[in-house]
Structure 1
């Protein structure tokens, strides 16, 4: 005797693990939202404002925030809202590029030092120790001053001072990976060391490097602004947040909007990037979630 049963197949909704983890961390979603708004504003700057960020209009100098000039004007009549939007491209772009360059160089140096060891490891790590012996800001200021005040030189200086962090991280991961069976098996089959590093070591080092990179971006944005504030980064009339704050703070008591709005955007951007970095660390590093 056969018993027939009517099976009903209900549609199963696929769950995106990344989205599920993001939903569990609302602060990361806030950071992504804030950062997304800032990026969209910077990209849409030509549509949102008709003012040239570098155009001087002495007749409109030190205008308070109005419907004509949303964030007011500076000491030579330039629209601050326009300068902030265009300055976001520089401040964020230089900060992100500096960290990516530092991470790429540090990963290569760290994996080479960790895999080969011996004198190569000692020489490279002693150089990194020399860089780490100086405070990050002081060394970045010294390098930027010696290279000459400009955005490009500020980016080079920041990348150099950030490299040792990634070298030490990549080296530590490589020291553990080179003892793994798959690396020893590759050596047994006669695969060349550089190919082992490229195909087996670097891909397994990427995850902790990405975590550190996302955590460093917010700090690097502040470092770019600090160099600009000290006159070692962007030079007038370039619209960069740190350079704007450097001039605006002198007029803070009488014209509060000059330094306040660039400082507010700098605070929001660095805070949002730190929240995003914490969230990515929780997603990519299971240990941190515990």
Structure 2
């Protein structure tokens, strides 16, 4: 009977916490704005074939450099492709790339950091010094070097950005693990003979996840911007792939006369990056009590 009462109290507490989180999110208009931007962009990306009837790679020289209008909302490019269509299909690439890179970096970094923080010792010191070496380089410069070394392709860009993002999550997870491993329930689990792997996955990582989630949302905008930047520099997706950075790079040549060509992909990059940053700031205010204003 007592166990049932405690289970009921735990369930009620979880429901109450969720309600408080939703209430705080609703009270922050900038967070709602961020969610709205990303949801709209995601829906456009998913339903792209139903939103536009044009092919993002189909050329039509007779309609090259058409100004924005009823037929082509964002105008056309140098070979007559509809820019609105290419921006929408580019949303698929940018969102998928950004989310994949950040999630992969977060998972790998959280595991490495938790292991280092829990065990400590020489391995911890060696790993953290390697992470410090990576963090010593500017993110963009190191990503450029790695992408150029691996070769120009979207996959190599994703790999390069993941490498430069992992140290951030390693340091976050390690710092949380150093605190969590001193809690009584972790010491009790160790006393009862539970394996270290079980303790890490059952206690250390779940109780260290909040700052990692916040960092994930904040990094999404930065990652999308990095992907577009490397694409602009010619290190990312190759034409005719409708990737925002590549489109801006090509359209920049025609900026003075065909202003719409680089402008609309640039606006898409700005909106995606801003949307994720607003979401990240909102989640930080909600999930991290230390950051409450």
TM-score by length of 2: 0.92
Aligned-pair CA distance for 1:82: 0.4
Q: How does 1:137-152 map to 2 (within 5 A)?
A: 137-152=140-155
Aligned partners of 1:44, 1:111: CA distance in 2, in Å?
39
Q: Secondary structure at the match of 1:16?
A: helix
| 1:176 is aligned to 2:171 | no
Higher relative helix content: 2
Q: 1:193-272 counterparts in 2 under 5 A?
A: 193-272=196-275
Which position in structure 2 is the counterpart of 1:164? 167
Unaligned runs of 5+ in 1: 1-13
**Counterparts of residues 1-290 of structure 1 (less than 5 Å):** 16-290=19-293
How far, CA to CA, are the matches of 1:238 and 1:186 in structure 2? 52
Which of structures 1 and 2 has the bigger CA Rg? 1
Task: Report the Cα distance in structure 1 between the residues aligned to 2:174 and 2:115, rounded to whole angstroms.
Answer: 8
CA distance in 2: counterparts of 1:242 and 1:183, whole angstroms: 47
**Aligned residue for 2:3?**
none
CA distance, structure 1, for counterparts of residue 118 and residue 21 of structure 2: 33
Three-state SS of the structure 1 residue aligned to 2:133 is helix
**Structure 1 residue 184 displacement after superposition:** 1.1
Displacement, 1:64? 0.6
SS at match of 1:161: helix
Shift >3 Å, 4+ stretches: none
Return the offset for 1:131: 0.8
Give the aligned length: 277
Inter-partner Cα distance in structure 2 for 1:87 and 1:269: 11
Residue 269 of structure 1, CA deviation: 1.1
